[in-house]
Amino acid sequence: MAPILQHLVEMTGHRDQLRLELSVLQTLLQLGTDMRVRALEFFFADAEVMVRPRSWSEDGEVITSHCDAASDPARQTLDELPELARCIEQKATSAVRADAPMHTLWLPVWVNDKAHACLEITQRKAFSRQQRDVILGVFRVYQNYQNLLDYSERDALTGLHNRKTFEEQFARYAAPTGGPARAKDAPPQQWLAILDIDHFKRVNDEYGHLYGDEVLILVANLLRNSFRAQDRIFRFGGEEFVVLLRSHTEAAAHEAFERFRARVKQTMFPQIGGISVSIGYCAAQQGAPVEVLGRADQALYYAKENGRNQVHCYDELMRQGLLKAQIAHSEVELF
């Protein structure tokens, strides 16, 4: 029992979701000699619920995938795991497959009434009642602590990731993705966009902050519905949002951001009517987060100064000579 308690102490010492996930898998590995564990991630692709292993045990060690979820060769549809699919549909706390020679226990991770991940434990022998009770105890500690972390990482108004989580997410998201190649063997590129609601101060001044907050919530919902589950969306404060997007080409990234701009313009907001957003974006592979944010902010400023309700790419503006490189660490006002 002492090693398990020590692992629990280490597990709850983490302040990052992925490190916490790796730690709970290491803890579970202590509960069986022939046990294998995986952390499964759910996501949507072509209107289907997909599942893929995000972290797993291998030869007693726990490793994590460097693949983008959508391009992970290990992905499969949730329907291929019928016991787990039924568990999710029924909002149950666990599912079991008791087939020889392997026995599998699934424990979905529920956050805000939504299953966004699942722990999978597999071993050759059936799970004893005592073993299952210990596994469930470890899992409950993990889920409670994860809920606390998730709460601390979310913006209270919109539920999006907050600003303090940005650098950790940026470092992980900008890493090489692996997975099958596309677009003439070019790997997916990363793009960072800053989105700003045009004339938002006027909304607050004319209609009041309650309506202003409603606009922010609705824009956040449009962001969730417009981008993929594997993209990262943040509220940076006020009327400013940041999106981290993976796309194989600049043209495809531009299309995604332009599609969102048009969607906002076509939406009627209660009492307010129509609003618009300005968007500036850039490639995110080179430079520290503050430098990448600075380049996207220059493109956003150009959109604001040239009529608003526009999408502009920093790299394209530079190629056209419409912007000059002027970002230094001391000059960036975002931090």
Q: What is the pLDDT of residues 217-249, one digit of tens each?
A: 999 999 999 998 778 999 998 999 999 998 889
pLDDT, position 12: 66
pLDDT, position 228: 83
For the stretch 24-59, pLDDT in tens is 999 999 888 889 999 999 988 777 899 999 999 998
> Any idea which residue has 């998201």 for tokens?
173
Q: How far is CA 273 from the centre of its chain?
A: 30
* Residues 295, 283: Cα–Cα separation, whole Å: 9
pLDDT, position 322: 94
Active site (annotated) includes residue 239: yes
The alpha helices in the chain, defined as continuous H runs, are 2-11, 17-29, 82-89, 129-152, 166-173, 200-207, 209-226, 250-266, 289-305, 314-319
Q: Is the pLDDT of residue 129 over 70?
A: yes
Q: Is the pLDDT of residue 191 over 50?
A: yes
Residue pair 56/63 in contact (Cβ under 8 Å)? The answer is yes
What pLDDT band is residue 276 in, cutting at 50, 70 and 90?
A: very high
Tokens encoding 185: 């063997």
* Residues 182, 42: Cα–Cα separation, whole Å: 23
Q: Say if residue 51 is exposed, middle or buried (CB neighbours under 10 Å; 0-12, 13-18, 19+).
A: buried
* Residues 215, 199: Cα–Cα separation, whole Å: 12
Tell me which range, 90-99, 227-236, 259-268, is most confidently predicted by mean pLDDT: 259-268
Q: Is the pLDDT of residue 16 over 80?
A: no
* Residues 99, 306: Cα–Cα separation, whole Å: 65
What pLDDT band is residue 110 in, cutting at 50, 70 and 90?
A: confident
Q: Give which of 234, 179, 166 is closest to 65, Cα–Cα.
A: 179
Q: Give which of 184, 191, 327, 335 is closest to 252, Cα–Cα.
A: 191
Q: Give which of 281, 284, 155, 297 is closest to 221, Cα–Cα.
A: 155
Tell me which range, 96-105, 165-174, 262-271, is most confidently predicted by mean pLDDT: 262-271
In the sheet that 311-313 helps form, which strands lie side by side, from edge to edge? 161-162, 232-237, 240-247, 189-197, 277-283, 311-313
- Distance from first CA to last CA of the chain, Å, rounded? 45
* Residue type at 34 in one-letter notation: D
What pLDDT band is residue 185 in, cutting at 50, 70 and 90?
A: very low
Strand 95-98 and strand 76-77: pairing? unpaired
Q: Is the pLDDT of residue 137 over 70?
A: yes
Q: Is 200 helix (H, G, I), strand (E, B) or coil?
A: helix
What b/e readout covers 106-134, taking b as 16+ CB neighbours within 10 angstroms? bbbbbeeeebebbbbbbbeeebeeebbeb
Q: Is the pLDDT of residue 182 over 90?
A: no
Question: Which positions ≥6 away from 130 have C-beta within 8 Å?
Answer: none
117: left (phi over 0), alpha (psi -120 to 50) or beta: beta
Alpha-carbon distances, residue 121 vs 35, 52, 146 (angstroms): 7, 15, 19
pLDDT, position 89: 94
What's the rounded mean pLDDT across residues 194-210?
Answer: 96
* Residues 27, 14: Cα–Cα separation, whole Å: 13
For the stretch 143-153, pLDDT in tens is 888 888 888 88
For the stretch 300-322, pLDDT in tens is 999 999 999 999 999 999 999 99
Q: Is 105 helix (H, G, I), strand (E, B) or coil?
A: strand
Q: Give which of 245, 326, 231 is closest to 279, Cα–Cα.
A: 245
Whole-model pTM? 0.73
pLDDT, position 283: 94
Q: Which of 41, 120, 214, 239 is catalytic?
A: 239
Tell me which of 16-25, 131-140, 231-240 is least confident: 16-25
Q: What is the mean pLDDT of the chain?
A: 87
pLDDT, position 175: 59
